[in-house]
């Protein structure tokens, strides 16, 4: 197990370097001049332009710029935002709890509904529950996030008035956000109705962001369960007279969870990508909305630092998923 962990950690180095190169080149292929956007065209002389280029190091060769950027990452220095003049590291982790809160709620929503849906579909293979659940999953997977979000807003917020349209909590409540997680801070505040307001603001973004992972988890669970249910040890468990619930939930589901956990780990990247649209539509003050604003303003340090930190988070999650394999399946742990 320890050798496996060391091997997986060893892949971090080339992956980390590759991601740093991609993030460095990505922002530079976008049209627009960051110096012009930052300082404005009015009053921009050639002398001032050259001075600003030298100040930010953009007059250096690309290799020199990349080396300064890469060594800065190793030191924990992601640079200063052009737009806000604040350290990128501080900005990212000030907004990161909002994205984590939304992503965790979306993943819980996807897992709680997706795995049971997949099990029910597998147990009722070819019957109407299977067809209904998998058809619904296909529709959910195919639905564009922005269109799905607008439909929910029109129906639940506009027509029924059940949920808020945007934000994390009603403007009627004000309290210190020590942790950055609105559910926790609103509960700790002791203000009547604050927690309920935070939950209401989370409902629609959670459904929108969690729909695609839910569909993927449901389909993968069904596929894995169908494969496991045909195994000899499952038939043996049934022949012993064990209840269908025990056979499906213990003997079959545990062995079917390996590919499901893989899909859950890979869904972290989907959540990060989906958070960009979801946070923009619902005015959710998280990393996704911040990244969009940074790209529009050609804020090199913010875009580079944000992409780098998101990539590292995804790599760490994938490592955790690999380690979970051994906890679920002892055969993998022995190998």
Confirm if 162 and 156 have CB atoms less than 8 A apart: yes
Domain count, the chain: 2
Residues 151 and 230 in one domain: yes
Task: Report the SS3 class of residue 80.
Answer: strand
Residues 162 and 100 in one domain: yes
Q: Residues 117, 230: one domain?
A: yes
Q: Do 227 and 282 share a structural domain? A: yes
State the Cα–Cα distance between residues 201 and 319, nearest whole angstrom: 32
Q: Give, for 54, the enclosing helix (H) or strand (E).
A: helix 46-56
* Partner residues linked to 80 by β-bridges: 87
State the pLDDT at residue 40.
Answer: 62
3-state secondary structure at position 172:
coil
The CATH number linked to 330 is: 1.10.3720.10
- The answer to whether residues 108 and 249 belong to one domain is yes
* pLDDT tens, residue by residue, 262-306: 888 778 777 877 788 888 888 888 888 888 888 877 787 888 888
Task: Answer yes or no: do 153 and 257 share one domain.
Answer: yes
Q: Which residues of 212-240 are buried (b: 16+ CB within 10 A; e: fewer)?
A: bbbbbbbbbbbbbbbebbeeeebeebbee
Residue 81 lies in a domain: no
**Cβ neighbours of 266 (radius 10 Å):** 16
Question: What are residue 87's DSSP bridge partners?
Answer: 80
For residue 35, tell me if it sits in a domain: yes
* Domain termination site, one of 74, 101, 120: 74
Q: Based on the fold, state whether residues 64 and 169 are members of the same structural domain.
A: no
Q: Does residue 199 form part of some domain?
A: yes
Residue at 184 is within a domain: yes
Q: Is the pTM of this model over 0.75?
A: yes
Examine residue 156 and state whether it is found in any structural domain, yes or no: yes
Same-domain status, 46 and 97 = no
- Can you tell me the distance from the alpha carbon of 32 to that of 176, in angstroms, rounded to the nearest whole number? 39
* 51 and 98 assigned to the same domain: no
The rounded average pLDDT for each run of 10 residues, N- to C-terminus, in the chain (335 residues) is: 67 82 79 67 70 76 84 82 83 88 91 91 86 89 87 89 86 83 86 88 92 91 84 71 69 76 79 82 86 80 85 80 66 56
Query: Does a structural domain hold residue 249?
Result: yes
Q: Are residues 69 and 133 in the same domain?
A: no
Rounded-to-integer distance, Cα 186 and Cα 15, Å: 39
Tell me, yes or no, whether 313 and 275 share the same domain: yes
Domain that holds residue 45: 2-74
* Same domain as 126, residue 61: no
How many helical (H) and strand (E) elements, i.e. helices and strands, does the chain have?
16, 0
* Residue 279 forms part of a structural domain: yes
The whole-angstrom separation of Cα 137 and Cα 126 is 15
Q: Measuring CA to CA, how many Å separate 256 from each of 57, 217, 313?
A: 53, 12, 26
């Amino acid at each position: 197990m320890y050798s496996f962990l060391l091997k997986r950690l060893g892949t971090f180095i080339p992956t980390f370097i590759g991601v740093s190169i991609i993030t460095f080149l990505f922002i530079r292929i976008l049209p627009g001049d960051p110096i012009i956007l930052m300082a404005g065209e009015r009053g921009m002389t050639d002398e001032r332009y050259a001075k600003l280029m030298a100040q930010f190091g953009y007059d250096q060769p690309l290799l020199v710029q990349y080396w300064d950027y890469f060594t800065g990452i190793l030191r924990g220095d992601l640079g200063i935002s052009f737009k806000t003049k604040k350290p990128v590291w501080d900005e990212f982790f000030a907004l990161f709890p909002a994205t984590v809160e939304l992503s965790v709620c979306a993943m819980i929503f996807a897992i709680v509904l997706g795995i049971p849906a997949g099990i029910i579909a597998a147990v009722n293979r070819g019957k109407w529950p299977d067809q209904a659940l998998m058809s619904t999953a296909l529709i959910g997977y195919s639905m564009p996030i922005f269109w799905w979000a607008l439909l929910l807003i029109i129906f639940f917020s506009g027509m029924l008035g059940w949920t808020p349209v945007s934000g994390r909590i009603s403007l009627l409540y004000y309290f210190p956000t020590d942790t950055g997680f609105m559910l926790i801070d609103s509960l700790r505040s002791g203000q009547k109705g604050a927690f309920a307001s935070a939950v209401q603001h989370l409902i629609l973004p959670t459904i929108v962001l969690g729909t695609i992972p839910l569909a993927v988890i449901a389909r993968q669970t069904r596929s894995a369960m169908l494969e496991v249910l045909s195994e000899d040890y499952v038939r043996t468990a049934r022949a012993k007279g064990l209840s269908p619930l025990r056979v499906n939930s213990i003997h079959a589901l545990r062995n079917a969870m390996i590919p499901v956990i893989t899909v859950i780990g890979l869904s972290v990247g989907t959540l990060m990508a989906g958070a960009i649209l979801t946070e923009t539509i619902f005015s959710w003050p998280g990393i996704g909305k911040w990244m969009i604003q940074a790209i529009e303003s050609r804020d090199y340090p913010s875009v580079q630092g944000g992409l780098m930190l998101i990539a590292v988070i995804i790599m760490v999650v994938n490592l955790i998923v690999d380690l979970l394999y051994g906890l679920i399946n002892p055969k993998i742990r022995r190998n």
